[in-house]
Chain A
Amino acid sequence: MTLESRELNPPSLLAQGVSLDPINEGTMVINMGPQHPSTHGVLRLVLELEGETIVSCTPHMGYVHTGIEKEGEYQTYMKAVTITDRMDYLSAHINNLAYSLSVEKLLGVEVPPRGQYLRVILSEIQRIASHMVWLGTHALDIGAMTVFFFAFREREKLLDLTEMMSGVRMMPSWIVPGGLRGDAPEGWLERCKKVMDELPYRFDEYETLIDQNPIWRERTQGIGIISAEDCYALGVSGPTLRGCGVPHDIRRAAPYCGFDQFEFGIPIGDYGDVYDRYRVRMAEMRQSREIIKQALERIPDGPINVSDRKVVPPPRYELDSSMEAVIHHFKLWTEGFHPPVGEAYVPVESPKGEIGFYIVSDGSNYPWRMHERPPSFMNLQALAKMCEGRLIADVVAIIGSIDIVLGEIDR
């Protein structure tokens, strides 16, 4: 048991005596972040500038690295779900869902229809809420201040739905392996319907503010262009990929949670620029609302959890009358369940792109390895390509348009 030798870890540039002063005559190196208002967290970009034109752009990250993947190896499967919330903190339900689907694949269980529908509703609510944050911050980066407050106003209503369901606004951990922690409370579905009825007017409102605005178009059209082929090779997924005209959506390509039963469109762009990504996400919010409306209409009655008591803890009322329930409850919350040896990966369409948990099971009650495929991390690789030859003002527009969350990049 030896630690890695020092040769593998060359000392930092500063320690080697290399100064970070201009690389070439005539260019200026500017350090953007980690404390910068529009790097969406603690992303640090080292930009080499010629005037205000970017010659090269190098992202540095890791400032909020919290070792979540390592942490997951020391939690039982049931408890590890709570730390998945913290990765992409804007789409916690979808992280939970991706994790739960992978664990369920390991276990070989399937959630009953009502659970599936609730998962669909929650994850689509979360998608809209995440896109709201994206819209607000993206617009704020470009300088349109009002959209931010409008978008957050509606996001608050969506988070209220999550709170009504789970008691928590942002880190619900409500979707767990085997189903959900609980059913929708009384009146939740009606309230959800009401919020959904209101949303289209709000979307129209945002678009009125920014869509036809010549300054907005001028700031976004033709900026940060990336081709579909580059997206494939770099592993760029999600709205960024769809902005290039590829109608690839995991909800359609590899349906999970019964997404194949819903009718929805996959919005695509034409040029793969910032504006197309903006349009794609705006259209996606409407499509998500359509999905929620369909799900609310068709949601069946019945159980929400897998009936296997070895996977899902018994409901509270059973504990009062059944000894087995008490034993199951105790065993599941202390020891947890033991999936068979194997590896599982289930891709899920998150607001950022393809998210999935690669879980290696050694047959014990702890995941041997829990790895998240971080869509923001992969999408960030496209940043350098998009930025080169652009202006500083474009960098913030491009960062906003690929919609990164540093909690997910650094994990």
Chain B
Amino acid sequence: MIIPNYRLGPIDLVTLLPYIAMLCIIGFILAIVPLLIWIERVVISLMQDRIGPNRVGPRGLLQTIADGIKLFFKEDIQPRAVDVRIYYLAPVLAMIPALTAGATLPFSTVRFRMEDGSVQTFPMVVGNVNIGILFILAMASLQVYGIILAGWSSNNKYSLLGGLRASAQVISYELAMSLAILSAVLMSGSLNLVHVVEAQMNGFWNWNLFAYPPLGFIITVIYLISMVAETNRAPFDLPEAESELIAGFHTEYSSMKFAMFFMGEYASMLVVSGVAVSLWFGGWTSPLPLLDFIPGFIWFLVKLFALFFVYVWLRASLPRLRYDALMNLGWKRMLPTALVILFLIACWNTLRTPQAQDANPVSEITMAPARAAEGER
């Protein structure tokens, strides 16, 4: 589908694209979270052979909306001995980085017919920066501050333990996660997520998942594991372990502050899943070239929901890891494996250096911000 580049004075659609993408990202995340919770509840109830939500709306579809409204109108309880400023800052810190990390995540392409009649493809991304992956890593690690500070400021021992667990867990898993991401960078030869996705175009056999077999597959599994750990979801939900620490870091949070933790958790699930889709599963591209007529964002959504389904699946089937086992898995198994794979990929790339030069083809996608900057000049 080709859209004419409408223009109103100095503003044209291409210039507006990052803003549209921003609205899409924020709106999507905020709007999709209730749906995700509903999907999770329905899927998990089907897996557990029970009925699941079915009271509010068709098949309980409006249940999460109702829950949200309830949370919104709940009394905002503030325990007596909390560290007030940090206590209020923590839920914000848990939610904002998760939303911000979506900024460099390309989720589709749009083709515009320019004034000169040429057709150009632009990525749907808020900030098409060259270090997009680093930005996402930075934001993902910022998010843990929300949890640690919540645990600290609540003045509750369970929360404190939850915060401690979260910090230890995120530190351990971020290493493996970064190494996995670095491997993808090596595979694609760019830190820009748009380029990474572009390198995986034209069919699923080009996905990084199947690159350098079997290294790509192993490193994808490592990324998926550390992605679950990073977002504190089952079986890695130690910081909020229901049966051990009651609710861990958000024991003392109620009302909208609790809802913000919840939103933050789901937003970060979406973002890390989106990163996984972009890095390993071909991003917005279709798995088969003949399916190219389907718009990119639909493919992106399909892959995103597939990964979300994996989250739910894990939650339904696996027991929770213990603290020390989690550390063992992170430091003794995943980190060395990821290091070895990174090394092997690097060696491989070095050995076929001539091709590696060409491995980064000239992009057919126009870098929208760059063009906008040129236009201003």
A–B contact with Cβ pairs below 8 Å: the answer is yes
Interface residues of A (CB under 8 A from B): 28, 30-31, 36-38, 52, 139-146, 149-150, 153, 209-210, 213, 215-216, 218-219, 391-396
Asked if B11 is an interface residue, CB under 8 A from chain A, the answer is no
Q: In the complex, what distance in Å separates the CA atom of A40 from the CA atom of B243?
A: 10
Could you say which of A145, A150, A215, A392 contacts B245, with CB atoms under 8 Å apart?
A392
Indicate if the CB atoms of B318 and A393 lie closer than 8 Å: no
Interface residues of B (CB under 8 A from A): 44, 47-50, 157-158, 161, 164, 234-235, 237-238, 241-246, 315-325
Indicate if the CB atoms of A143 and B323 lie closer than 8 Å: no
- Given the complex, which residues of A lie within 8 Å of B321, measured CB to CB? 143, 215, 218-219
Indicate if the CB atoms of B322 and A153 lie closer than 8 Å: no
Q: In the complex, what distance in Å separates the CA atom of A52 from the CA atom of B323?
A: 9
Indicate if the CB atoms of A392 and B244 lie closer than 8 Å: yes
B46 to chain A, nearest CB (A): 11
Indicate if the CB atoms of A143 and B319 lie closer than 8 Å: yes
Indicate if the CB atoms of A394 and B48 lie closer than 8 Å: no
| Given A150-B49, A153-B49, A215-B235: A396 touches B244 (CB 8 Å cut-off) | yes
- Given the complex, which residues of B lie within 8 Å of A142, measured CB to CB? 243, 319-320
- Given the complex, which residues of A lie within 8 Å of B234, measured CB to CB? 143, 145
Indicate if the CB atoms of B319 and A28 lie closer than 8 Å: no
- Given the complex, which residues of B lie within 8 Å of A36, measured CB to CB? 246
Q: In the complex, what distance in Å separates the CA atom of A38 from the CA atom of B237?
A: 16
Indicate if the CB atoms of A150 and B244 lie closer than 8 Å: no
- Given the complex, which residues of B lie within 8 Å of A52, measured CB to CB? 161, 164, 323
| Given A38-B243, A150-B48: A393 touches B157 (CB 8 Å cut-off) | no
Q: In the complex, what distance in Å separates the CA atom of A218 from the CA atom of B235?
A: 13
A23 to chain B, nearest CB (A): 14
| Given A30-B157, A150-B48: A37 touches B242 (CB 8 Å cut-off) | yes
Indicate if the CB atoms of A30 and B49 lie closer than 8 Å: no
- Given the complex, which residues of B lie within 8 Å of A145, measured CB to CB? 44, 48, 234, 315-316
Indicate if the CB atoms of B47 and A146 lie closer than 8 Å: yes
Interface of A is mostly: helix
Could you say which of A37, A149, A150, A216 contacts B319, with CB atoms under 8 Å apart?
A216
Q: In the complex, what distance in Å separates the CA atom of A78 from the CA atom of B321?
A: 50
B35 to chain A, nearest CB (A): 21
> Which of the listed residues B44, B244, B317, B324 has the most CB atoms from chain A within 10 Å of its own CB?
B244
Q: In the complex, what distance in Å separates the CA atom of A142 from the CA atom of B244?
A: 9
Indicate if the CB atoms of A210 and B161 lie closer than 8 Å: no
- 4 A-B pairs besides A52-B323, A391-B322, A393-B244 with CB distance below 8 A are A36-B246, A140-B243, A215-B319, A393-B322
- Given the complex, which residues of A lie within 8 Å of B47, measured CB to CB? 146
Indicate if the CB atoms of B244 and A209 lie closer than 8 Å: no
Q: In the complex, what distance in Å separates the CA atom of A395 from the CA atom of B242?
A: 14
Selected A-B contacts with CB under 8 Å, 16 pairs: A30-B157, A31-B157, A38-B244, A52-B164, A139-B319, A141-B243, A142-B319, A142-B320, A143-B243, A146-B316, A149-B50, A213-B319, A215-B318, A218-B325, A392-B161, A393-B244
B165: nearest chain-A partner, CB-CB: A52
A106 to chain B, nearest CB (A): 43
Indicate if the CB atoms of A219 and B319 lie closer than 8 Å: yes
- Given the complex, which residues of B lie within 8 Å of A149, measured CB to CB? 48-50
A140: nearest chain-B partner, CB-CB: B243
B159 to chain A, nearest CB (A): 11
- Given the complex, which residues of B lie within 8 Å of A394, measured CB to CB? 322
Indicate if the CB atoms of A37 and B318 lie closer than 8 Å: no
Indicate if the CB atoms of B157 and A28 lie closer than 8 Å: yes
B315 to chain A, nearest CB (A): 7
A395 to chain B, nearest CB (A): 8
Q: In the complex, what distance in Å separates the CA atom of A310 from the CA atom of B287?
A: 83
- Given the complex, which residues of A lie within 8 Å of B241, measured CB to CB? 143, 393
- Given the complex, which residues of B lie within 8 Å of A146, measured CB to CB? 47-48, 316-317
A352 to chain B, nearest CB (A): 20
- Given the complex, which residues of B lie within 8 Å of A215, measured CB to CB? 235, 318-321, 325
B160: nearest chain-A partner, CB-CB: A28
- Given the complex, which residues of B lie within 8 Å of A396, measured CB to CB? 243-244
B328 to chain A, nearest CB (A): 9
- Given the complex, which residues of A lie within 8 Å of B317, measured CB to CB? 144, 146, 209
Q: In the complex, what distance in Å separates the CA atom of A394 from the CA atom of B225?
A: 23
A315 to chain B, nearest CB (A): 42
Could you say which of B44, B235, B323 contacts A391, with CB atoms under 8 Å apart?
B323
Q: In the complex, what distance in Å separates the CA atom of A396 from the CA atom of B322?
A: 11
> Which of the listed residues B48, B235, B316, B319 has the most CB atoms from chain A within 10 Å of its own CB?
B319
Q: In the complex, what distance in Å separates the CA atom of A142 from the CA atom of B322?
A: 9
A184 to chain B, nearest CB (A): 29
B47: nearest chain-A partner, CB-CB: A146
A138 to chain B, nearest CB (A): 10
Q: In the complex, what distance in Å separates the CA atom of A143 from the CA atom of B322?
A: 10
Q: In the complex, what distance in Å separates the CA atom of A37 from the CA atom of B243?
A: 5
Q: In the complex, what distance in Å separates the CA atom of A395 from the CA atom of B244?
A: 8
Q: In the complex, what distance in Å separates the CA atom of A392 from the CA atom of B241?
A: 11
- Given the complex, which residues of A lie within 8 Å of B238, measured CB to CB? 393
8 residue pairs, one from A and one from B, having the closest CB atoms: A143-B320, A38-B243, A144-B319, A149-B48, A143-B319, A142-B319, A141-B243, A393-B322
Could you say which of B164, B316, B323 contacts A393, with CB atoms under 8 Å apart?
B323
| Given A213-B318, A392-B245: A143 touches B48 (CB 8 Å cut-off) | no
> Which of the listed residues A142, A393, A395 has the most CB atoms from chain B within 10 Å of its own CB?
A393
Could you say which of B44, B49, B244, B319 contacts A210, with CB atoms under 8 Å apart?
B319
A208 to chain B, nearest CB (A): 10
A217 to chain B, nearest CB (A): 10
Q: In the complex, what distance in Å separates the CA atom of A146 from the CA atom of B44?
A: 8
Q: In the complex, what distance in Å separates the CA atom of A209 from the CA atom of B48?
A: 12
A223: nearest chain-B partner, CB-CB: B322
Indicate if the CB atoms of B318 and A144 lie closer than 8 Å: yes
Q: In the complex, what distance in Å separates the CA atom of A306 from the CA atom of B241?
A: 53
Q: In the complex, what distance in Å separates the CA atom of A392 from the CA atom of B162?
A: 12
B317: nearest chain-A partner, CB-CB: A146
A150: nearest chain-B partner, CB-CB: B49
Q: In the complex, what distance in Å separates the CA atom of A140 from the CA atom of B315?
A: 12
Indicate if the CB atoms of A218 and B322 lie closer than 8 Å: yes
B322: nearest chain-A partner, CB-CB: A393
- Given the complex, which residues of B lie within 8 Å of A140, measured CB to CB? 243
B324: nearest chain-A partner, CB-CB: A391
B168: nearest chain-A partner, CB-CB: A52
Q: In the complex, what distance in Å separates the CA atom of A37 from the CA atom of B235?
A: 18
> Which of the listed residues A141, A145, A209 has the most CB atoms from chain B within 10 Å of its own CB?
A145
B318: nearest chain-A partner, CB-CB: A215
